[in-house]
Amino acid sequence: MKRVVITGYGIISALGNNVDIFWKNIAEGKSGIKLIEDPEFSDIPTRIAAYIESFDAEKYMNKKDINKTDLFTQYAYAAAAQALESGGVSDNTFDKNRVGIYIGSGVGGLDTILKNHRIFLEKGSRRVSPFMVPMMITNMAAGFISINTGFKGPSFSPVSACATSNHAIGEAFLSIKHGYTDAVLAGGAEAPINPLTFAGFSNMKAMSRNNDHPLESSRPFDKDRDGFVIAEGAGILLLEEYEHAVKRGAEILGEVVGYGATSDAFHMTTPDFHGAERAMSLALSMAEIQPSRVNYINAHATSTKEGDISETNAIKSVFGENAKNIKISATKSITGHLFGAAGGAEAVITLKAIENGLVPPTINLKNPDEKCDLDYTPNTAVKHDIEYAVSNGFGFGGHNASLLFKRFDK
């Protein structure tokens, strides 16, 4: 079996459009959540989000391509371009037949669908864009990146709600580990901030309604939490076979050593902690390490009542008495919830935490829930030596995917 390392990463987010700025804000616990001023959201109970204010697509793409792609594809391409640049990739770095692209999205080009549906109703079928279908389909982020990089290995778009990026990275890891590819761009992208999405989630009572205090609205593990906060952006890693990376002199940012994927087979939206428990256990088993070796967990923790308790119970079940000694953080308290891109962004966070020996904080944790009684690194980052770290992603439908990262040692 091959070793799999990370040699590049990229991020587009409300907290910054490059990894350095993004990590600085994460480490300092600076929330990216703001009030939405758009009047189309005015009658929706939730009017807060971690939306991006300063994304310049022309930095990465020409105007013609911008006009033919949905925003989620633009985010994906920008993050992928960053990953390739940070990885020192040139046109002849790889055998392009052996480079894959596994980039997913939870809702894909929903904004494109909504805009064209409005045109259809107001102006008729002939005014619907001929680019609507290629713009809206979820696999177009991967397809567009393949077209523009020339990478001809396996390319597809996993869709598993909020577990999407973890599945993408995990399957990329397996592809390289088993020798099918030399490198894979993997992660997710999301542009879900529109009134319809907000109306649906808000009517489910899944989203926070703390509109008066946006910076305090996402509060995982806090007794007063009242739901997640939507975010947008992309997080993408460049995974590479270890010997290939060494041969070309690449800087190695970390290593993927385990991956576990399971299903709850329980309920469409309510989690069963046994599924998350098995996903983490499978990741540890694949790496052949004892649970006591794990120093840090980047929790899925979305700030929902049932989800945070379920993940706490899963962690206790896997790690036993040692669960209380593991540093945990819920960085969605800072970033908001990027849905299908969450795992990509959190993989970047986890790698930077390992690199810097710094556990990011769970902000807004002021009134702990007695049912959530582990060390969630409340409000302030903590210096901590991290060798092994788990990053969790769980999605509606009962999808679970856990990644195990390791500090790189030759």
- The tokens describing 79, both together, are 């993050």
Contact 35, 211 (CB under 8 A): yes
37 DSSP assignment = -
- The tokens describing 89, both together, are 């990739």
Q: Is 162 a catalytic site residue?
A: yes
User: Which residue, among 255, 271, 301, has the nearest Cα to 403 in the 3D structure?
Assistant: 255
The number of helices, as runs of H, and strands, as runs of E, in the chain is: 13, 14
- Which of 49, 110, 162, 276 is catalytic? The answer is 162
Query: How far is residue 321's CA from residue 14's CA, in Å, rounded to a whole number?
Result: 37
Which residues lie below 8 Å from residue 396, measured CB to CB, with a gap of 6+?
Answer: 161, 162, 268, 269
- DSSP lists the bridge partners of residue 392 as 402
Describe the chain by its helix, strand, coil percentages, rounded to 5. Answer: 40, 20, 40
Query: How far is residue 199's CA from residue 115's CA, in Å, rounded to a whole number?
Result: 16
Q: How many CB atoms lie within 10 A of CB 32?
A: 25
- Residue recorded with tokens 């939870």: 106
Which residues lie below 8 Å from residue 87, measured CB to CB, with a gap of 6+?
Answer: 7, 8, 238, 240, 250, 251
Catalytic residues: 162
